[in-house]
Amino acid sequence: MTEIDIPNDWNPRVHQKPFFQAMDTGTKRACMVWHRRAGKDSSVLNFTAKEMFKRVGNYWHLFPKQRQARKAIWNGIDGDGRKILKQVFPEVIRDRTDGTEMMIELKNNATWQLCGSDNYDSLVGSNPVGVVFSEWSLCDPNAWDYIRPMLLENGGWAIFIYTSRGKNHGYNTYNMAKKSDKWFCELLTVNDTKRIDGSPVITPEMIQSERDEGMSEEMIQQEYYCSFDAQIPGAIYAEELRQAYNDNRIKTIPIDPSLPLNTAWDLGHRDSTSIWYWQAVHGEIRLVGYYENNLKSLSHYIQEVKKFALKTGTDVELGRHLGPHDCEAMRLGQTETVQQQCRAAGIKMTRTERPLTKQMGIEAVRKIWYKLWIDDVRAEVGLAGLSEYQYEWDDKKKIYRDQPLHDWASHPSDALQTLALGWNENMVGAKRPAKPVVAKVNFNVF
């Protein structure tokens, strides 16, 4: 009988051992903010291989996009010139390898699959017992909300590995995890990691070489020192978000029961439908919540709006509902338009004009940005999207295009553009007038 050690032909570096020790003693959640080239994927892949022999089940390794997963892992080669997956899953332990689905089945029936968070809804129902989110700060955060209930039910584990990417959902995950005694949480810069022989993984000379070759200081701080304050390259609202944080306009925003609860929509079917909840008062636009989903009927979103109003625990009234330019034409499989369906359900949706260009929509948001206050809990996913919204990169010309990248981050951004395009100063809220005091008045005579 052939014997083999798992992990196969791999030994952890000193800085990788605490992760293994935590998970081997029963920890079910891990957040690893490690610098570039610190061995994040290598660590979790070899951990997963070991887990697949301890518990038979389905294991997923998610990248932001499926094509990234194929390039980085399925076709990837490690620092020693070996095919990554041949080291992690040697042929002797495999029963089947499916290159189309990027799936490996072991001889004990456990399966491992590479996936993309951009297609997370197609994964639901497969019941994984272990999930890795690689480059979590770039993944669609909705993927975790879909997968979380499955792991909760079956006692599975989840690992989030990434470098910092501004103050988006990765930043929130790290801050939450470091406060929890149920999570393994670690942030490692180039000052914290060494090879097995004790030499640095990344030397100061290597970093200086990056500077000399044109890498910006902010990119160096992000990639090698895991700074959450570094500006995301190509981020459209980077300066606006930085100013909002400096002004303390991103925090818990209470819902005022004396003001109407308004909404702003971006419509989709296979793409997400996104909704911002907002209130206007004294020149401020308070983004008090955010919701998105896909492959749902319009009635689902209408009910979500009404449920959100009820969840406030107050008698808050529904106010203005701003829809995109196509709400008067889009039908979502029904005979009536979205606008007609909403109005029939008591959601009086108003159509906003379509900007002539995407850049005009972005500028409309910038014009109202100084008015925005954003709830960082109820609108966490929407806020993450605004942080991650960025211009497309032209790899041939090595410049950013004028066109924004269309991915998960574009949905909350497009819904906010609906609000900006429909905003006017007449929407500024005011407190409901207090009821007049009815009393008998007597006049003193002096």
What pLDDT, in 10s, does the model give residues 372-416? Answer: 999 999 999 999 999 999 999 887 887 888 899 999 999 999 999
In the chain, the amino acid numbered 395 is D
Residue 437's pLDDT is 44
Whether residues 117 and 179 share a domain: the answer is yes
Whether residues 308 and 417 share a domain: the answer is yes
63 within a domain of the structure (yes/no): yes
Domain count, the chain: 2
In the chain, the amino acid numbered 33 is V
Question: How many residues can be counted in the chain?
Answer: 446
Residue 123's pLDDT is 63
Q: 426 falls in which pLDDT band (50, 70, 90)? A: low
User: CA–CA separation, 230 vs 387, rounded Å?
Assistant: 12
With CA atoms as reference, report the closest residue to 357 among 412, 408, 407, 404: 404
Range of the domain at 249: 238-427
Whether residues 209 and 329 share a domain: the answer is no
Whether residues 160 and 293 share a domain: the answer is no
Q: Does the pLDDT at position 76 exceed 50? A: yes
Among the candidates 200, 225, 250, a domain finishes at 225
Whether residues 177 and 304 share a domain: the answer is no
User: CA–CA separation, 95 vs 111, rounded Å?
Assistant: 10
Whether residues 39 and 151 share a domain: the answer is yes
Three-state SS at 26? coil
Whether residues 312 and 215 share a domain: the answer is no
Indicate which CATH number applies to the domain containing 392: 3.30.420.280
pLDDT digits (tens, 9 = 90+) for 271-310: 889 999 999 998 899 999 999 998 889 999 999 999 998 8
Whether residues 153 and 206 share a domain: the answer is yes
Please state whether the peptide bond connecting residue 7 to the residue before it is cis, i.e. omega within 30 degrees of 0. Answer: yes
In the chain, the amino acid numbered 347 is I
Residue 438's pLDDT is 46
Q: Ramachandran region of residue 190, left (φ > 0), alpha (ψ -120 to 50) or beta? A: alpha
Whether residues 44 and 128 share a domain: the answer is yes
Whether residues 46 and 133 share a domain: the answer is yes
Residue 431's pLDDT is 46
pTM as predicted? 0.81
Residue 108's pLDDT is 95
Which neighbouring-strand residues pair with 162? 33
Whether residues 199 and 248 share a domain: the answer is no
